[in-house]
A = this chain, B = another copy of it.
Amino acid sequence: MSFKELVKVLGLGAVALVLGVEWLDWLTRRLRVSRGPLKEVLFFPSPHVCVEHLFTRHRRFPCACPLPHGIETSFSRLLEHLLSARTSLDLCVFSFSHMELSRGIILLHKQGVIIRVVTDRDYMTITGSQIGTLRKAGICVRHEMSAAVHMHHKFALVDGKKLITGSLNWTLTAVQSNKENVMITEEPALVQPYQQEFQRLWEANDPTNHKPQTKLKPSFVISD
């Protein structure tokens, strides 16, 4: 085969490869659509593995930490769904002390994702809570104003179309020890009520509509 023919063959091969990949991608998307909106269920506890690759996608050197690498777990899937946010993240969570989840939210905030957090009045001040860290990073956080009730939700809305909800508080104990469940869905009939609930709580707990407290509640440790 002459050089010219070789170049032609390689060129045609490259074009065929690109078209083939495009076609496979189109087929995959069609199959996903025909199965309906995204539905995924994650169960915990989740083994402790390295998730550094989710934070730094173009890493020059492999991670040298002692944790297992390249393993997908319930936690890595949860973090991946969280980090898929491109425009907005509404988080409604009772207890939040997980440092990697906090890191993920701050990363999204730095990328320009609009983030709003509603949390529980008592649990936002427990030792280890990441709520203060989020506030220091400039993220807007509101808390349940009433002292008589708990804001016990554990859900997040990604880009207004993906719901992450379940029994899981965003804590290390919940992720690594407890029997927990998280459901992820893009079914509009399920997403929309949660979006409305978030909006209702966000507006109801607007601090400008409430009198300032004269007596601050002390921080205290509550086991998870």
Contact in complex: A178, B165 (CB < 8 Å): no
A45-B149, A174-B152 are contacts. A190–B179 as well, Cβ < 8 Å?
no
A-side interface residues, number (CB < 8 Å): 36
A39-B189, A197-B43 are contacts. A151–B179 as well, Cβ < 8 Å?
yes
- For this complex, 29 residue pairs linking A to B, each with C-beta atoms less than 8 Å apart, are A36-B36, A39-B187, A39-B189, A39-B190, A41-B193, A41-B194, A43-B193, A45-B149, A150-B173, A150-B177, A150-B179, A150-B224, A151-B178, A152-B167, A152-B168, A152-B174, A152-B178, A152-B179, A153-B167, A153-B179, A153-B180, A155-B167, A155-B181, A165-B167, A165-B181, A166-B167, A167-B167, A181-B194, A181-B197
Number of copies: 2
Q: Roughly how many angstroms separate A162 CA and B84 CA in the complex, as a whole number?
A: 30
